[in-house]
Amino acid sequence: MVKPRRKSCPGRGKLFVISAPSGCGKTTLCRRLLDDSIDLVNSVSMTTRPPRPGEKNGVDYRFVSRKYFQDMIRSRTFLEYEENFGHLYGTPGKFIQDNLKKGRSVLLSIDVKGAMKVRKVYGRNSVLIFILPPSIRVLKNRLYSRMSDDAETIAQRLKNARRELSYKDRYDYRIINDTLDSAYKRLKNIVIS
Summarize as ranges the residues that interact with ligand 5GP (CB under 6 A): 22, 45, 49, 80, 82, 84, 89-91, 109-111, 113-114
Using rule CB under 6 A, residue 99 touches ligand ADP: no
Of positions 7, 14, 26, 117, contacts ligand ADP by CB under 6 A = 26
- Is 136 or 180 the residue whose CB approaches ligand ADP more closely? 180
Of positions 142, 168, 186, 188, contacts ligand ADP by CB under 6 A = 142
Fill in the amino acid letter for 145. S
DSSP symbols for 40-71: EEE---EESSPPPTT--BTTTBEE--HHHHHH
Of positions 9, 15, 17, 24, contacts ligand ADP by CB under 6 A = 24
Of positions 34, 59, 73, 180, contacts ligand ADP by CB under 6 A = 180
Helix axes 26-35, 180-192, angle to 10 degrees: 60
Using rule CB under 6 A, residue 137 touches ligand ADP: no
SS3 138: helix
114 binds, among ligand 5GP, ligand ADP, none (CB under 5 to 8 A by kind): ligand 5GP
Q: Under a CB-based contact definition with an 8 Å cutoff, are residues 149 and 34 in contact?
A: no
Helix axes 136-146, 151-165, angle to 10 degrees: 140
48 binds, among ligand ADP, ligand 5GP, none (CB under 5 to 8 A by kind): none
**CA–CA distance, 88 with 68 (Å, rounded to integer):** 11
- Is 32 or 104 the residue whose CB approaches ligand ADP more closely? 32
SS3 126: strand
**CA–CA distance, 115 with 186 (Å, rounded to integer):** 20
Element containing residue 142 per DSSP (H, E)? helix 136-146
Of positions 9, 15, 17, 20, contacts ligand ADP by CB under 6 A = 20
Of positions 19, 22, 77, 105, contacts ligand ADP by CB under 6 A = 22
**CA–CA distance, 133 with 74 (Å, rounded to integer):** 37
Q: Which residues bind ligand ADP (CB under 6 A)?
A: 20, 22-28, 142, 145-146, 177, 179-180, 183
